[in-house]
Structure 1
Amino acid sequence: MALQLRRRRPTTTQEAPPRRWTWHRRGTGTGAVERKPPRRRRTRPNPVSAMIMMAGWAAAAVLALGMLLTWGDANPANVLVDAVLDTGGWLATPFHDVFTRTDPQEQLYINWTLAGVVYYVLARALSWMTRF
C-alpha cells in the first residue's frame, strides 16, 4: 500500500482547518500517522553578508558593463566609459593573462568573464559563511 500525503478533514463544521499534514494509506481511512512535511530552513542575511553579496554583484556588473562597452565600440575618451573600463581593468588585473588570444578583444571577453564569475562565486561563499 502506498502512502499519500493529504490534508486531514475537519470532523465538524466549526473546527478550524487543520495545520498539520497526515499520512494516509490509499483506499483505507485508518492507519493515519501524524507527520509534518519537511520544512526548509531559511536564514536571514545579516548586514555584513548582504554587503559582501552587493560587492560581488557590483564587481560582476562593472566587468559585464565594460565588456558591453568594448563590444559596442564605445568612445574611450568619454569620462564614463573611461571610468568603467579603468575599474574593470583594475578588477580583472589578477586574471590578465589567464587565457591569451591573438585578438585583444576576445582575450578581454574571456578573462573579464572569468573574473566576474570568480568574484560572484567568492562573494556568494563569503556571504554564506557570514550568515551564521
Structure 2
Amino acid sequence: MAVSDDQAKAILRVLPDGTTRSMGGTVRPLRRVVPHDAPDVGKPQICARQRAQIVAYKLIARTAGQWERDANNEGAHYIEKHPFRDDGIVCANCVFYRGPRACEIVKGEIDPMGICKLWVIPDMYLKSDNGGNESNA
C-alpha cells in the first residue's frame, strides 16, 4: 500500500498506546507486526516501540526513498562483518529483510548476516544473557 504525500504530512506522532495522531485529530490503530514464521502467532513478538519504528521507517522509505548502504547522512550504516552475529543481530532476523539478499528499506544487495542501524528484530531471535531485554542499569 503506497502512502500519499498528504497522508505522510498528516502523521504527527505515534502515541505510547500504539496509535497515531494525525493533524485532523483522528486516531488510527497500528497494524500488529508478527514475523511470518513466528512459532506462536498469538504471542506478541514486537513491542510498541518497535511497531512505531516499523511504521516510521516504512513511511520514510516510501516518501523519501530507501536508505543508502553507506555511512553518510542518507546512509543506513550497513556492514557485513560485525561482532553481533552470535547475538542474533543480523539482517536475516530483521522485519525488513526480504531475502535472499534484499531489504525493504535499504538499497542494494544485503548479506543476510550483515546489519545496519535501522534493524528491528523480534525478541525471540535475540540471544543474550537476560532474554534480549538489554538494560543500561
TM-score, structure 1 length as denominator? 0.26
Higher helix share: 1
